């Protein structure tokens, strides 16, 4: 079996040929084919602000606790309708995720449409859900003595804010919340 | 027969190389598992260390990429190069390439850690979060390490290529190809990237770490037991079947997603196929160890290898079972997965790296580790990882059952909470074991106390 394999370069060549073929068949070709999935009818690409928000979502590692895929299983239907290929047409990098330390966010824009809620929750999740283990994202906010007219003020409940002054959402927080608000599943039309 | 080379001079250079890889790997083990420990305490104490640079979302990728690519990859590469030289009966050929490999590994690890901490990553996609220039440097490290092994084996004085080097060379070749496939951006969009991610994340584990670790077992086990491996043919069977079955199974990470149903089914079928190389390898190792209980009891290194083989078998079989749809239904998205990844990357890969280092480094440097310290390292790491895996397996199952029976999401968080506390305790034991290991690495690699060179054979 191995008599022809006494040259290590033969092992290199055969390994590369076999694995290269398998990589093309099970990595490259599925990648190319599925990348061409047509968008679900009615699905809109993200706006510039929402796309910036998505970058923050990625950079802060939100996907290590929040998935963005609804499976056709009873326990997932609370998060929305089952996901279909076209839902991901504009979603690069993909954020399906393997983890649900927190709930799925596929349809969070519909399930929690309040931006005010999202700001408070990002500032301190435990201000809204006492048992939550989500980190605080305080660096997306700044505390100021007074709010300026253009500022987005966070309605922090008593006891969860700074000793004095107000909490203002930075542009990053506004971008992130704009992205979360944009996470809305489009309804599927009945097949003819 | 008179040796063809100055054994002492050669061993000095080879052992310096092996020592450097081991010291570097140990540094990253300490750093990245300290990070892991902090992460584990953030579950019971979410307001612990709230700086963005110490936040869960940024540190998690630093923990996983660091343990994978700066600890395990470097430790295994160093040992694999050393084994390639010993099984070939020559000194390491192309030492400059090997040193360059070590430099590249560390450049990638430093740059990768810093950029991740600044919030720069590749889409939270597990084990390829490092931005592409960093992964390119890592790829260079793998290629240089592989080239060193191939060159060394090409200059061997033995007739056949020892089975260890099959696995090692395979692992390097697969990983270079895998790295290129993962890095090319032009064909990865939306769901297409999901397919590539499934392929990548699983192959990064099973075509890299598994192959290098198995290669080390095939050398260290017979060496320590002073008997030949039970079956060379079983080893070759394991090599080819792992190569043929493994690449297909990645999609089992995305069951019930919009990935084509047949593609998911194929992944599940091949996950069952993986039992062939796993059973072949485990049986081969078990039969080699048969009747060796006394040797295992006396050795410092063998217990690590025995635990590593156990977790290779248990973790891999668990992976097959996990792939079934009926069980993914419950276990997917839960912390059961985190338990599984520690059973394999820690119970299997890390224990084999330790076993190989304890087996080979003292022979290379002439310095022994501290005996009792090694026993404590073994005890803490074994108890720690076992508690870790058991606790997250139970906690993860309960999480999944909570979801399946309805109720608010937060109930599953409350259910898992005590198991997360237990995991943090287990993680603390594991980290203590790493500190003891680092002390032993210091003892084994320090320049003083070097044993006198062996009398030349005449």
Nearest to A173, CA basis, from B457, B52, B293: B52
Which residue's structure tokens are 């032993």? Answer: B440
Q: What is the pLDDT of residue B447?
A: 76
Q: With an 8 Å Cβ cutoff, are B413 and A101 in contact? A: yes
Determine the average pLDDT of the residues in B353-378. 96
Residue B258 contacts A, CB cutoff 8 Å: yes
For β-strands A166-169 and A153-154, DSSP reports them as antiparallel
Q: With an 8 Å Cβ cutoff, are B257 and A90 in contact? A: no
Nearest CB partner across the interface for A61, out of B56, B174, B207:
B56
DSSP notation for B205-245:
IIIIIHHHHHHHHHHHHHHHHTS--S-HHHHHHHHHHHHHH
Q: With an 8 Å Cβ cutoff, are B248 and A75 in contact? A: no
The string of pLDDT tens digits covering residues B209-256 is: 999 999 999 999 999 999 999 999 999 999 999 999 999 999 999 999
Residue B57 contacts A, CB cutoff 8 Å: yes
Distance CA B165, CA B149 (A): 8
pLDDT at B5 over 80: no
Give percent helix, percent strand, percent coil of chain B, each to the nearest 5.
Answer: 80, 0, 20
Paired tokens of A51: 């796309």
Paired tokens of B286: 């078990």
Find, in chain B, the residue whose alpha carbon is nearest to that of A92.
Answer: B190
Residue B212 contacts A, CB cutoff 8 Å: no
String of b and e for B263-301 (b: at least 16 CB within 10 Å)?
bbebbbebbebbbbbbbbbbebbeebbeebeeeeeebbb
In sequence order, what are the residues at sequence separation of 6 or more whose Cβ sits closer than 8 angstroms to the Cβ of residue B443? Answer: B367, B368, B369, B370
| A92 chain-B contacts, CB cut-off 8 A | 123, 188-190, 193
Q: What is the pLDDT of residue B223?
A: 95
Residue ranges for chain A with pLDDT beneath 50 = 1-2
| pLDDT confidence band for B104 (50 / 70 / 90) | very high
pLDDT at B48 over 90: yes
Q: With an 8 Å Cβ cutoff, are A22 and B126 in contact? A: no
Q: What is the pLDDT of residue B158?
A: 85
| B56 chain-A contacts, CB cut-off 8 A | 61, 64-65, 135
pLDDT at B297 over 70: yes
ipTM score for this prediction: 0.95
The string of pLDDT tens digits covering residues B412-434 is: 999 999 999 999 999 999 999 99
Q: What is the pLDDT of residue B455?
A: 43
The string of pLDDT tens digits covering residues A68-85 is: 999 999 999 999 999 999
Question: How many angstroms away from the CA of A63 is the closest CA of chain B?
Answer: 6
Nearest CB partner across the interface for B197, out of A16, A94, A129:
A94
Burial of B258 per CB tally in 10 Å (0-12, 13-18, 19+): buried
CA-to-CA dists, residue B339 to B144, B279, B456, angstroms = 33, 21, 50
Residue B265 contacts A, CB cutoff 8 Å: no
CA-to-CA dists, residue A50 to A44, A47, A53, A67, A180, angstroms = 11, 5, 5, 18, 8
Q: What is the pLDDT of residue B10?
A: 55
pLDDT at B27 over 70: yes
Q: With an 8 Å Cβ cutoff, are B123 and A94 in contact? A: yes
Phi then psi for residue B332, to 5 deg, are -65, 140
Paired tokens of B260: 């084509």
What value does the mean pLDDT of chain B take?
Answer: 94
DSSP notation for B120-170:
--STT-TT--S-HHHHHHHHHHHHHHHHHHHHHHHT-SSSSPPHHHHHHHH
Nearest CB partner across the interface for A59, out of B120, B194, B335:
B120
| pLDDT confidence band for B11 (50 / 70 / 90) | confident
């Amino acid at each position: 079996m191995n008599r022809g394999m006494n040259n290590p370069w033969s092992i290199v060549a055969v390994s590369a040929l076999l694995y290269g073929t398998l990589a093309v068949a099970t990595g490259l070709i599925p990648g190319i084919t599925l990348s061409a999935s047509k968008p679900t009818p009615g699905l809109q690409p993200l706006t510039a602000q929402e796309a910036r928000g998505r970058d923050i979502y990625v950079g802060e590692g939100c996907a290590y606790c929040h998935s963005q895929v609804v499976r056709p299983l009873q326990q997932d239907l609370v998060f929305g309708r089952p996901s279909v290929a076209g839902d991901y047409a504009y979603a690069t990098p993909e954020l399906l995720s393997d983890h649900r330390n927190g709930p799925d966010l596929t349809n969070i824009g519909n399930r929690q449409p309040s931006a005010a809620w999202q700001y408070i929750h990002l500032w301190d999740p435990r201000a809204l859900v006492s048992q939550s283990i989500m980190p605080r994202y305080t660096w997306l906010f700044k505390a100021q003595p007074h709010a300026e007219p253009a500022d987005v003020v966070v309605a922090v409940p008593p006891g969860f804010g700074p000793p004095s002054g107000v909490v203002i959402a930075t542009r990053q927080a506004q971008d992130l919340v704009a992205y979360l608000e944009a996470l809305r599943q489009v309804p599927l039309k009945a097949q003819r | 027969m008179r040796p063809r080379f100055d054994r002492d001079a050669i061993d000095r250079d080879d052992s310096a190389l092996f020592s450097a890889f081991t010291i570097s790997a140990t540094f990253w083990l300490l750093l990245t598992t300290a990070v892991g420990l902090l992460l584990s305490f953030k579950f019971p104490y979410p307001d612990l260390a709230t700086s963005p640079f110490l936040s869960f979302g940024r540190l998690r990728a630093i923990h996983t990429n660091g343990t994978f690519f700066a600890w395990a990859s470097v430790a295994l590469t160093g040992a694999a190069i050393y084994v390639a030289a010993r099984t070939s009966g020559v000194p390491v050929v192309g030492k400059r390439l090997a040193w360059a490999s070590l430099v590249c590994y560390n450049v990638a690890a430093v740059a990768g850690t810093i950029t991740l901490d600044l919030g720069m990553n590749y889409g939270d996609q597990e084990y390829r979060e490092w931005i592409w220039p960093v992964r390119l440097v890592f790829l260079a490290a793998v290629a240089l390490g592989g080239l060193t092994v191939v060159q060394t084996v090409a200059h061997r004085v033995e007739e056949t290529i020892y089975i260890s080097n099959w696995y090692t060379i395979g692992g390097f070749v697969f990983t270079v190809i895998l790295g290129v496939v993962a890095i090319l951006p032009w064909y990865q969009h939306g769901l297409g990237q999901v397919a590539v991610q499934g392929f990548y994340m699983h192959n990064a584990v099973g075509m890299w770490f598994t192959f290098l670790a198995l290669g080390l077992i095939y050398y260290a086990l017979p060496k320590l037991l002073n008997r030949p491996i039970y079956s060379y043919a079983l080893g070759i069977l394991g090599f080819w079947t792992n190569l043929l079955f493994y690449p297909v199974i990645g999609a089992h990470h995305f069951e019930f997603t919009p990935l084509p149903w047949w593609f998911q089914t194929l992944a599940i079928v091949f996950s069952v196929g993986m039992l062939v190389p796993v059973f072949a390898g485990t049986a081969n190792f078990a039969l080699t160890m048969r009747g060796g209980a006394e040797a295992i009891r006396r050795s410092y290194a063998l217990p690590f290898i025995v635990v590593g083989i156990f977790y290779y078998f248990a973790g891999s079989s668990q992976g097959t079972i996990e792939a079934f749809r009926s069980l993914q239904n419950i276990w997917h998205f839960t912390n059961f997965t985190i338990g599984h990844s520690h059973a394999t990357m820690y119970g299997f890969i890390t224990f084999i790296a330790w076993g190989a280092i304890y087996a080979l480094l003292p022979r290379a440097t002439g310095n022994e580790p501290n005996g009792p310290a090694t026993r404590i390292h073994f005890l803490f790491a074994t108890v720690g990882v076992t508690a870790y895996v058991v606790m997250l397996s139970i906690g993860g199952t309960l999480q999944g059952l909570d979801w399946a029976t309805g109720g608010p999401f937060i109930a599953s968080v409350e259910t898992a909470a005590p198991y997360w506390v237990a995991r943090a305790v287990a993680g603390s034991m594991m980290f203590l074991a790493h500190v003891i290991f680092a002390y032993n690495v210091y003892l084994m690699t320090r320049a003083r106390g070097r044993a006198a060179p062996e009398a030349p054979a005449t």
